[in-house]
Amino acid sequence: MKPGSSQLVAFRVNGQEIGRSVEARRLLVDFLREDLGLTGTHIGCDTSNCGACTVMVDGRTVKSCTMLTVQADGREILTIEGLAQNETLHPIQKAFYEHHGLQCGYCTPGMILSALQLLTKNPAPNEQEIRRAIVGNLCRCTGYQSIVESISAAAQKLAV
């Protein structure tokens, strides 16, 4: 792929088939936000440190500021907008709401997707495991305590 050239990509975003021509150098996060209008995925640092741009590609969290759109060709993408079903919050979202797992909310979409990644692999994590799972997500408000509590509560919610 050459930087300015365009390529056809086809993938699913939150269950919906998307087919577009994109510039080879377009970052996935820019494509999601600007071309698809899915602004729930945030750009924090744009240097793959903060994790605000975390989305899932084929069931694995990635930082969408450090992935080219063309790399996602043929894959299944899940953004924060794809979590709630018919206006009903996902249990992790509900837990963040109930346990005040956010202050300014900027890191929240990424935090929630990292929580989803953790809970899919480890349905009953301890505090240490939760903290390790969000190493790649920074909360500038430093509201980690409530975030950890929210993820722990979400695990219990999902277990029943």
Query: Which residue ranges make up the site for other proteins (CB under 8 A)?
Result: 1-3, 24-25, 46-48, 51, 54, 60-63, 66-68, 70-71, 114, 117-118, 132-133, 135-137
Work out how close the CB of 68 gets to other proteins at its nearest, in angstroms, rounded to a whole number.
7
Computed on alpha carbons and rounded to an integer, the radius of gyration of the chain in Å comes to 16
50 or 95: CB nearest other proteins: 50
Work out how close the CB of 32 gets to other proteins at its nearest, in angstroms, rounded to a whole number.
15
67 or 139: CB nearest other proteins: 67
Beta-strand ranges (E) seen in the chain are 6-13, 16-23, 54-57, 60-63, 76-78
43 or 89: CB nearest other proteins: 43
**Amino acid letter, residue 116:** L
Residues written for the chain: 160
What is the rounded CA–CA span in Å between residue 14 and residue 48? Answer: 23
Work out how close the CB of 153 gets to other proteins at its nearest, in angstroms, rounded to a whole number.
20
Q: Are 39 and 53 in contact (CB under 8 A)?
A: no
97 or 127: CB nearest other proteins: 127
83 or 111: CB nearest other proteins: 111
Q: Are 137 and 117 in contact (CB under 8 A)?
A: no
Work out how close the CB of 80 gets to other proteins at its nearest, in angstroms, rounded to a whole number.
15
- Token pair recorded at residue 14: 């939150």
Neighbouring residues of 39: CB distance < 8 A, sequence distance ≥ 6 = 33
Work out how close the CB of 60 gets to other proteins at its nearest, in angstroms, rounded to a whole number.
4
